[in-house]
A and B are shown apart, each in its own frame.
Chain A
Amino acid sequence: MHYHRPQNINILQELLQDTNREYTILAGGTDLMVEMRQKPLPAEAHILDISRVTEISSIKEENNQFILGALVTHQQLAESIAIQKYAPLLAVACRQVGSLQIRNRGTIGGNITNASPCADTVPPLIVLNAEVEILGPQGTRTAAIEDFFDKPYFPRIKPNEVVTRIRFKKLVPHQKSAFFKLGRRKALAISRINMAAILQVDENNIIKEVRLAPGSVFPAWKRVHEAEQFLTGKTANENNFNEAGRITSEEMIKISGRRWSTPYKEPVTAALVRRTLMLALEQE
């Protein structure tokens, strides 16, 4: 097994230029170390430990944007005053990931690249219209987060590419947001369903814009445009949110068919849409 630990982004890029290698990326190790215990890597594997690339380990604010280094941990995001203020749903999502130990190790870059269907940062990043910056042998490219995944566990990333940054616009005061996670217990729980929403209403309580993204509902992450279209221009109230929930569940069944989990997911997805939108509406 080969192990590489670049000290800065330039060395990282040099390493990526060796296209004969298939890198396995190590950042916080919360997924990789567990997988390696279950199935050891082959002798010819190349581990690329990016944890010392300090250029991508902090939360930066530029004008009205956040630029998150891929190595920013869940705990950093949960504790960041700026994130709490300008992207509170992401702070809420990060606070509920795993346990403190996992939040201290696990990175946002890892969370999206591992692309587990229950990844808690993905729905918030989708409604935040985040862009992913990817470093490869030829330099960087960017992708909209919603286009970053084929399906869970399959991010659209090549073997010698690394996610380096995630950027999104700060929310402005009239953009309310919420994240809700349904797990089987209060910590160390894999999300059964999670839900992120951003909601903007005018002075008459009419919805100007709404973005809604559930997790573990569709085969691949996406916004629920059908529900969003229904809500836009309507009054923000419980009845309309209930209808948006019903539309979301209907959409789920349209895409995936009725499956073993549908009897539970159909009513609960609908209820969580209503709940998340209510939480957003009443956000302080």
Chain B
Amino acid sequence: MNIIGKREKRVDALGKVTGAAKYADDYNLTHQLYGAVKYAEFPHAEILSVDISEAQKLPGVEAVMRAADVPGNNCFGLGGDIRILADDRTRYLGDVVAIVAAESKAIAQKAAELIHVEYRELPAVFDPEEALLPEAPQIHTNGNEIVHHKLRRGNIAKGFSEADFIIERDFTTQPIEHSYIEPEAALAEPDEQDGIKVIGSMQNFYTSHKVLAGALNLPLSKVQILQSTLGGSFGGKDESATMVAARAALLAQKTGRPVKMLNNREDSVRQSYKRHAYKLHYKWGCKGDGRIAAMEIKIIADGGAYTSMSPFVTWRSVVQAAGPYHCENIKTDVYAAFTNNNFTGAMRGFGSPQVNFAIESMMDELAERTARSPLEIRLLNGFETGSVTASGQKLKHKVSLKQVLKEAAKKSGFEEKWNVNREMEKDDGIPDDGKRNVRRGVGLSCAYRGVALGAEGVDAASAVVYVQPDGSLSIASGIIDMGQGAQTAMSQITAEVLGVSMERIRFLQPDTGRVADSGPTVASRGTIMGGGAVKIAAENIRFILEKTAREWFALNDEKLIFKEEQIFVESQTEGLKQLTEFDVLVAKCYAKGRPLFASGVRHIAETWWDEETGQGDAYFTYVYGANVAEVEVDMDTGKVDVVRFWSAHDVGRAINKGMVEGQIFGGVAMGMGYGLLEEFIQENGVAKTVNFDEYYIPTALDMPEMEALIIENPDEKGPFGAKSIGEPALEMAAPAIANAIFNATGKQIYNLPANLEEVLLGRKLRRNTPRASVSCKIGPVKYM
């Protein structure tokens, strides 16, 4: 291979480093108006009336809209319950009751303040467990249970009866913010034919397309969505970004003028969905030899105000809740419940970071109880090729779990360090020298992950490759780049198939009219699905090129080689012989009336699922990874420094090693934030961490020395064997850190994040705010 695997320069690099890249807010139009929103004033209240008369009178105001003014569908999302504008009730404080378009942002903001809403307060609920009680306030019409996924395998009663001992633990994980550096923004413009064109910062622009067409009451063909360069997303710019785009589009349609809707950071935090907080109860029946006879798992996820992706997020949890470990008897129940918190949805990891924290903590406790090392216990219980998962799926691809574990352990010197630290930890507990009271620890984690959407949806993606008459190429894809490097990966795949250099390739701006609906760019499916589609499109082009070359040079079935911008023929007698140059062959094709424009569709449908038993082939393939964290714990303060980190991943095939490393380093940073620092705090529905002065993510100075260990076992399902790395890179970092703290201090972490208080005291500390429970009302809440 000539280009696959190489550290090619990213196709979007130049624009980003020079500032030429245009993010959503960089687009402006003459005569554009500015939008503003009127927020909910109670986390749960009935809306009795919305008086917009004063706002309308303010000079400079062009439109004020309420839910009743939406011409089409005001509700959207997986559960059909997310409101573009709150209609009957407010369900969280990020709900928007009315929107304004005005000549300036300041006028729009002023007008929003002049909107008067009459409410009847309703009791609210902020704890998902309480929300599932019969007496809990009802947030929607059919109870507060969003979903209940079950998995039943074997017989747990039998399994527990055969166990020598039980490990039973409760874990909690916190909601977190995606922290994309670019907040949501959209510019909507009425077009010449009653349609609407929107340019904005959206991760899943095909979904946004359908929502906007529905809200505007327009056919899909009359709504065009262009995706601006994204300043990060991490799963976060789905419904939240769609809401912003839809509000801009509604105002543009109403006023006939372009409308810009822009969230500042506080707006973004207030409106947007978060990663689900989980409460996890794990009970394992264990054998004295370290094997697991039974697992009983119960998980409750806080879904917040709307359904969003809760059913799918928790579905991934139910599939992966038992980890990559053998166990014949498993009973798993995963619930998601409505509350009056911010709704929760997709975020990098998508239901795996929470369960991985619990599984990998349990595994280290099992190691401790059976006097084995964390590596030994994982090698004893871990999957191999041919193993059967909790859902009864036989793994027919190469299962590399033990390979990644051994690689991570070897490169980090895990076993030796773990043993040394463990002896130190049993020390007297007297400070080292008074100035510094630090203990070292290493922690191991591993995980497996189903690639792409799996049985949660149709998995198909499209791409278009166009070789223009001069031999330059353009590519359009339904899979988008949000900074992860999808465009570069797809360009490398195309360049490899056609034997051309990357310099020829221009990646086109995503546009709903350009490529068929390819589903969302989520679930680490960009390379495997988008890359697969672009490979098929490029092969379709190559088919025309080869046919033309064979006719031209009177060849039969000799093998043609495309590389270094040239076409070669391989013959047994003469070896490799140059036939012509790529440009010349392209010109020949056009001269023969054969334009080089082709699309490709990659569709994989080899999954099934039974909701009642939780059995099925959940995903068509899986990836495997292992992490080792080395930490220093300040025993006086609970401060944890991650000093080194090793992250091993079987990616199938690295399309671009530099970008795989980039994903791994970024994933470690994000996983470290989840493990140690980050927490989206709400008190009675009020967000307390509304900007980055209070919501802490790791800085460059906090990052450890990191080593990315790339392992390649090509998978037949992926383009050139490539699988996934986006989410695997993140999903097992926190438990590696938690286990390292355990190794250093002898105390396990049961609640994320492992912040100062958690490490020192084993719990979080909160200001004593009176808690609004099911029976008590909450006063009006105003931000800032």
Say yes or no for A143: interface residue by CB 8 A criterion: no
Are A192 and B756 in touch, CB under 8 angstroms?
A: yes
Closest to B757 in A: A264
Interface string of B670-681 (1 = CB under 8 A from A): 000000010000
Contacts of A260 on B, CB cut-off 8 Å? 765-768
Are A182 and B765 in touch, CB under 8 angstroms?
A: no
Q: Whole-angstrom distance between the alpha carbons of A241 and B700 in the complex?
A: 34
Say yes or no for B639: interface residue by CB 8 A criterion: yes
A262 to B: closest C-beta gap in Å: 9
Are B765 and A261 in touch, CB under 8 angstroms?
A: yes
Are A186 and B702 in touch, CB under 8 angstroms?
A: yes
B675 to A: closest C-beta gap in Å: 13
Q: Known A268-B637, A275-B435; judge A38-B784 contact (CB<8 A).
A: yes
Q: Known A184-B756, A278-B435; judge A263-B761 contact (CB<8 A).
A: yes
Are B698 and A185 in touch, CB under 8 angstroms?
A: yes
Say yes or no for A267: interface residue by CB 8 A criterion: yes
Are A264 and B760 in touch, CB under 8 angstroms?
A: yes
Enumerate A184-198 residues with CB–CB distance to B below 8 Å.
Answer: 184-190, 192
Q: Whole-angstrom distance between the alpha carbons of A214 and B698 in the complex?
A: 26
Contacts of A186 on B, CB cut-off 8 Å? 699, 701-702
Partner of B637, one of A182, A188, A282: A182
Interface string of A121-164 (1 = CB under 8 A from B): 00000000000000000000000000000000000000000000
Say yes or no for A271: interface residue by CB 8 A criterion: yes
Contacts of A238 on B, CB cut-off 8 Å? 431, 434
Are A182 and B639 in touch, CB under 8 angstroms?
A: yes
A78 to B: closest C-beta gap in Å: 15
Contacts of B784 on A, CB cut-off 8 Å? 38-39
Are A282 and B756 in touch, CB under 8 angstroms?
A: no
Q: Known A185-B702, A264-B760, A278-B435; judge A271-B637 contact (CB<8 A).
A: yes
Q: Known A184-B756, A260-B765; judge A272-B434 contact (CB<8 A).
A: no
Q: Whole-angstrom distance between the alpha carbons of A137 and B638 in the complex?
A: 49
Say yes or no for B612: interface residue by CB 8 A criterion: no
Say yes or no for A167: interface residue by CB 8 A criterion: no
Q: Whole-angstrom distance between the alpha carbons of A274 and B761 in the complex?
A: 20
Say yes or no for A279: interface residue by CB 8 A criterion: yes
Closest to B700 in A: A187
Q: Whole-angstrom distance between the alpha carbons of A99 and B692 in the complex?
A: 13
Q: Whole-angstrom distance between the alpha carbons of A212 and B768 in the complex?
A: 30
Closest to A275 in B: B435
Enumerate A225-282 residues with CB–CB distance to B below 8 Å.
Answer: 238, 241, 260-261, 263-264, 267-268, 271-272, 274-275, 278-279, 282
Interface string of B738-767 (1 = CB under 8 A from A): 000000000000000001110011000111
Q: Whole-angstrom distance between the alpha carbons of A188 and B697 in the complex?
A: 10
Contacts of B435 on A, CB cut-off 8 Å? 275, 278-279, 282
Contacts of B434 on A, CB cut-off 8 Å? 238, 241, 274-275, 278
Closest to B673 in A: A185
Partner of A185, one of B436, B696, B761, B765: B696
Q: Known A38-B784, A184-B677; judge A278-B433 contact (CB<8 A).
A: yes
Contacts of A267 on B, CB cut-off 8 Å? 636, 760
Interface string of A205-230 (1 = CB under 8 A from B): 00000000000000000000000000
Are B437 and A187 in touch, CB under 8 angstroms?
A: no
What are 21 A-to-B residue pairs whose CB atoms are below 8 Å?
A: A39-B784, A99-B699, A184-B639, A184-B677, A184-B755, A185-B696, A185-B699, A185-B701, A185-B702, A186-B699, A188-B699, A241-B434, A260-B765, A260-B768, A263-B761, A267-B636, A267-B760, A271-B437, A271-B637, A275-B437, A282-B435
Known pairs A185-B701, A279-B435. 6 more at Cβ < 8 A? A184-B755, A185-B677, A187-B700, A188-B699, A263-B765, A264-B757
3 smallest beta-carbon distances between A and B, as pairs = A271-B636, A278-B434, A186-B701
